[in-house]
């Protein structure tokens, strides 16, 4: 008698949640558009399996300055996506859900310090 594989898995629906890293990558791609790629952004992700944590660094990159890299902020979360812990300029903030995550991300990207860093990178890149 031949063996027939059995699928014992329950129906697994497609993913529906927007992830913190997905939102960050979306914003990273928009920076290049706003600056004509003079200053770009990348999201670097590291995992810590022992802690079951994901760590995402939002990095500004200036290609004209030898690919100078500046880590603007860090976001950490577990497998469940939320809460997300932000570290920006040494200050810790927590987002308990996607709505709060977007609010905190908006406040960081529009922060005076962020705009000064981007302005400095733009100025040095076109000199």
Q: What is the pLDDT of residues 43-89, one digit of tens each?
A: 999 998 788 999 999 999 999 999 999 999 999 999 999 999 999 99
CB-side exposure of 59: number of CA atoms within 13 Å? 14
Give the model's pLDDT for residue 44: 98
Alpha carbon distance 92, 67 (integer Å): 28
107-122 mean pLDDT? 97
Give the model's pLDDT for residue 88: 97
Decide if pLDDT at 120 tops 90: yes
3-state secondary structure string, 75-105?
EEEECCCCCEEEEECCEEEEECCHHHHHHHH
């Amino acid at each position: 008698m031949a063996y027939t594989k059995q699928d014992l898995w329950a129906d697994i629906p497609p993913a529906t949640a927007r992830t913190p890293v997905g939102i960050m990558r979306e914003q990273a791609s928009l920076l290049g558009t706003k600056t004509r790629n003079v200053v770009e952004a990348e999201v670097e992700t590291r995992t810590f399996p022992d802690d079951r944590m994901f760590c995402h660094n939002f990095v500004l990159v200036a290609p004209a300055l030898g690919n100078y890299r500046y880590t603007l902020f860090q976001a950490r979360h577990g497998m469940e996506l939320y809460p997300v812990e932000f570290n920006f300029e040494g200050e810790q903030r927590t987002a308990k859900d996607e709505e709060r995550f977007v609010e905190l991300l908006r406040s960081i990207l529009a922060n005076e310090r962020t705009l000064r860093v981007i302005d400095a990178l733009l100025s040095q890149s076109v000199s």
